[in-house]
């Protein structure tokens, strides 16, 4: 039984970034038959832990090492991305990024043979069989387990904001869904996803985690795929809400915001602040608004009394936390809008090219 412990939560403010990408052929189409890329060769020297498949052979995960100083995040991310692009190129592949690849048709792509994923496919069936999604996960170290749970509870309101800023998946199986983030809607059809309920403390979360494993609801703690969770193995708060990004500057801006939120809430926990409460149904409503509208969303306020447009939230958060990146992300064309514009103006071939990750 793979469960974490309180002891994992020992470092405050460290940063880790996990990104999921698509392996594509010379024409930019997601492709199968890529096991040699992942398992057949030694990993690059700059990424000694290597890369790993996600559920499909056309998806691959890359992650930075633990970043102690956030000033080093850009270099750490560039190192991993450059290594991945070069590693793929050596086998004749390229790397693309989006929350959903517009040309990925799940019925035509192969799942990996890794036992973990084969077990999930057997247990979950249709929702997992079609799960060609790619996300961005940000880990921030927290030095106390109860604090981590308290912070994760507070971050639930921010997850739809992060999703709206990152929305980068308007197309699904080649057609326009009308959504800004179809990835989020596809992914939340899996069990144990979406905005979680609040937990009273670490003991309450660990009881839940243990019960889910002991009742064979999940194989291990990693199958709790919520938008935010205390990671009881890494000793972090992990935010899993955003879509994957082609532009590393967007990834870095979202990571900067997540880290600032975690550090801020950790300090407020130490100050004895009482946690705010908002019904999960209203948090779900906010997530739907992010899925549907992306940058144009307005969200139910934390007190439940009104709504505020994303732009005003971004301005307030930048001023409150001293961050700038998400302001630039909001003011720029969203990933979803960019994809729609390029396909309408220049066609599907141009869109596939635009999603390619540069070395």
Residue of 156, 115, 162 lying closest to 135 (CA atoms): 162
Sign of CA dihedral 17, 23, 24, 25: positive
What does DSSP assign to residue 56? B
Cβ-based neighbours of 116, under 8 Å, separated by 6 or more: 219
Check: CB of residue 237 under 8 Å from CB of residue 155: yes
pLDDT in tens, the chain (359 residues): 567 789 999 999 999 999 999 999 999 999 987 777 888 888 888 998 889 888 999 999 999 999 999 999 999 999 999 999 999 999 999 999 999 999 999 999 999 989 999 999 999 999 999 999 999 999 999 999 999 999 999 999 999 999 999 999 999 999 999 999 999 999 999 999 999 999 999 999 999 999 999 999 999 999 999 999 999 999 999 999 999 999 999 999 999 999 999 999 999 999 999 877 789 999 999 999 999 999 999 999 998 899 999 999 999 999 999 999 999 999 999 999 999 999 999 999 999 999 999 97
- Check if CATH label 3.30.590.20 holds for domain 6-154+168-274+348-354: yes
CA angle (313, 252, 330) in 5-degree steps: 30
> Beta partners for 335?
none
DSSP string, 57-68: TTEEEEEPPPBS
pTM of the shown model: 0.97
Give the separation between CA 344 and CA 318, rounded to whole angstroms: 33
């Amino acid at each position: 039984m793979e469960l974490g412990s309180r002891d994992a939560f020992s470092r405050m403010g460290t940063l880790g970034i996990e990104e999921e990408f698509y392996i594509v052929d010379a024409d930019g189409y997601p492709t199968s038959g890529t096991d040699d890329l992942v398992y057949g060769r030694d990993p690059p020297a700059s990424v000694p832990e290597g890369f790993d498949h996600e559920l499909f052979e056309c998806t691959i995960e890359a992650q930075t090492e633990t970043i102690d100083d956030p000033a080093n995040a850009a270099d750490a991310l560039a190192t991993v991305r450059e290594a991945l692009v070069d590693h793929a190129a050596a086998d004749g592949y390229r790397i693309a990024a989006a929350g959903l690849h517009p040309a990925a048709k799940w019925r035509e792509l192969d799942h990996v043979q890794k036992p973990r994923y084969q077990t999930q496919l057997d247990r979950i069936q249709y929702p997992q069989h079609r799960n060609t999604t790619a996300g961005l996960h940000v880990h921030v170290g927290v030095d106390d387990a109860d604090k981590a749970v308290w912070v994760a509870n507070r971050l639930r309101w921010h997850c739809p904001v992060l999703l709206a800023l990152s929305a980068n998946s308007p197309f699904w199986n080649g057609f326009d869904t009308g959504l800004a983030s179809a990835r989020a809607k596809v992914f939340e059809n899996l069990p144990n996803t979406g905005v979680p309920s609040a937990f009273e403390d670490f003991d309450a979360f660990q009881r839940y985690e243990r019960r889910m494993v002991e009742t064979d609801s999940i194989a291990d703690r990693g199958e709790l795929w919520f938008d935010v969770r205390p990671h009881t193995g890494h000793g972090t708060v992990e935010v899993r809400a955003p879509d994957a990004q082609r532009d590393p500057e967007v990834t870095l801006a979202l990571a900067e915001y997540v880290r600032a939120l975690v550090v801020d809430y950790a300090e407020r926990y130490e100050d004895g602040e009482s946690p705010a409460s908002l019904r999960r149904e209203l948090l779900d409503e906010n997530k739907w608004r992010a899925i549907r509208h992306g940058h144009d969303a307005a969200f139910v306020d934390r007190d439940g009394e009104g709504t505020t447009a994303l732009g005003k939230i971004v301005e307030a958060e930048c001023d409150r936390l001293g961050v700038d990146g998400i302001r630039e992300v909001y003011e720029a064309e969203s990933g979803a809008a960019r994809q729609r514009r390029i396909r309408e103006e220049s066609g599907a071939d141009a869109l596939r090219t635009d999603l390619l990750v540069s070395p």
